[in-house]
């Protein structure tokens, strides 16, 4: 399936993932690891291991460190 991803701060792109993919797979398609980002659907964070259930998501790279 194709998912339109808005990478906040970078713009939109479309990625293809298997029909049974989870959001972590979408993130990896973007070149990020799941711990670096949060996926938002309709403005709310979704678990990385939840099956993809939206054709448009926003991916927010986290601001964190030590």
Partner 1 sequence: MLVLSRAAYDEILTHAEAGGAAEVCGVLAGERTDDGTARVDAVHRAENVADHPRTRYRIDPEEQLAIIERIEDAGREVVGFYHSHPEGPPVPSRTDAERAAWPGYSYAICVPGDRPYLGSWRWTGEQFDREAVALRPE
**Within 10 Å of residue 27's Cβ, how many Cβ atoms?**
23
Is there binding between residue 47 and partner 1 (CB under 8 A)? no
Of 16-24, 31-39, 49-57, the segment contacting partner 1 by CB under 8 A is 31-39
Is there binding between residue 57 and partner 1 (CB under 8 A)? no
7 by DSSP, 3-state: which? Answer: strand
CB of 20 to partner 1, least distance (A): 26
In angstroms, the CA 24 to CA 48 distance is 5
- Name the residue with tokens 């029909």: 19
Residues lying near partner 1 in the complex (CB under 8 A): 8-9, 32, 36-38, 40, 43, 45, 58, 60-66
């Amino acid at each position: 399936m194709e998912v339109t991803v808005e990478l906040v701060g970078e713009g939109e792109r479309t990625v293809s993932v298997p029909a049974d993919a989870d959001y972590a797979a979408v993130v990896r398609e973007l070149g990020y690891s799941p711990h670096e980002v949060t996926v938002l659907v309709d403005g709310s964070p979704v678990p990385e291991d939840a099956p993809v259930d939206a054709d448009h998501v926003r991916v927010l790279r986290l601001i964190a460190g030590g």
